[in-house]
């Protein structure tokens, strides 16, 4: 996994609540057996018109936000199905950091596994950030994972919380499976004990 330390990038606004994973990547694109290539299909129904052109009201796909790597959005982002195709699609679209007042659990978890940093900030701070990027599409937002801050020049700087283990894995680009397999002996002895106590399991 690619480590995540610092990000200095433009941010795109998506001011919607409850953006579910069906919106992020509709079901017709779940039939892939790969992780890549979903970016063009991300947000399909709210992004494209029937004739395939980009809808004017979908900011993240407008020229002004070209190259944005941060997505600022509303509450309960990523609710619904557990499909990891959602973070894959978002990553493939070019976003490495998401900022919202809240995220749905499974989506939040899946994001980390793909090197995406989901940042939860209080609602008023997200509103401020949203306004800033809507008014200044070129604004550079600085994300510092080590210091846990989201900064816009000298306009504002917000602190965010993150689980220390997740932070550590992101900063170092660590792969969970590799980490866990180092504990094989502990896992084996747990399993043996469990089998002795509850042999039907």
Which residues of this chain interact with other proteins, rule CB under 8 A? 16-18, 20, 22-23, 26-28, 30-35, 45, 74-76, 79-84, 87, 102, 104-106, 109-110, 113-114, 163-165, 176-177, 179-181, 183-184, 186-187, 190-191, 194, 198-201
- Least separation in angstroms between CB 108 and other proteins: 9
Q: How far is CA 182 from CA 115, 176, 178, in A?
A: 21, 10, 7
Is the Cβ of residue 54 or residue 187 nearer to other proteins in the bound state?
187
User: How many C-beta atoms lie closer than 10 Å to residue 153's C-beta?
Assistant: 11
Instruction: Give the integer Cα–Cα distance in Å for 75 and 18.
Output: 6
- Least separation in angstroms between CB 8 and other proteins: 27
Going by C-alpha positions, the residue among 63, 58, 69 that lies closest to residue 24 is 58
Is the Cβ of residue 58 or residue 140 nearer to other proteins in the bound state?
58
Distance of CA 107 to the CA centre of its chain: 8
- Least separation in angstroms between CB 154 and other proteins: 30
Instruction: Give the integer Cα–Cα distance in Å for 60 and 159.
Output: 25
- Least separation in angstroms between CB 142 and other proteins: 26
Per DSSP, 79 falls in state B
Is the Cβ of residue 28 or residue 154 nearer to other proteins in the bound state?
28
- Least separation in angstroms between CB 88 and other proteins: 8
Is the Cβ of residue 52 or residue 199 nearer to other proteins in the bound state?
199
Going by C-alpha positions, the residue among 122, 112, 102 that lies closest to residue 1 is 112
User: How many C-beta atoms lie closer than 10 Å to residue 103's C-beta?
Assistant: 21
Is the Cβ of residue 120 or residue 136 nearer to other proteins in the bound state?
120
């Amino acid at each position: 996994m690619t480590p995540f330390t610092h990000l200095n990038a433009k941010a795109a606004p998506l001011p919607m609540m409850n953006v579910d994973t069906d919106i992020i990547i509709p079901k017709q694109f779940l039939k892939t057996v790969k992780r890549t290539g979903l970016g063009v299909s991300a947000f399909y129904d709210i992004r494209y018109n029937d004739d395939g052109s980009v809808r004017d009201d979908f900011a993240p796909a407008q020229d002004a936000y070209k190259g944005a790597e941060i997505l600022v959005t509303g509450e309960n982002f990523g609710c619904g199905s557990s499909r990891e195709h959602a973070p894959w699609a978002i990553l493939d679209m070019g976003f490495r950091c998401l900022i919202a007042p809240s995220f749905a659990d499974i989506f939040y978890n899946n994001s980390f596994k793909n090197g995406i940093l989901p940042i939860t900030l209080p609602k008023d701070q997200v509103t401020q950030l949203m306004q800033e990027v809507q008014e200044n599409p070129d604004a550079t937002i600085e994300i510092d994972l080590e210091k846990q801050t989201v900064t816009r020049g000298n306009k504002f700087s917000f602190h965010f919380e993150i689980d220390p283990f997740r932070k550590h894995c992101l900063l170092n680009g660590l792969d969970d499976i590799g980490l866990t397999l180092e504990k094989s002996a502990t896992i084996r002895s747990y399993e043996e004990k469990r089998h002795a106590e509850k042999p039907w399991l």
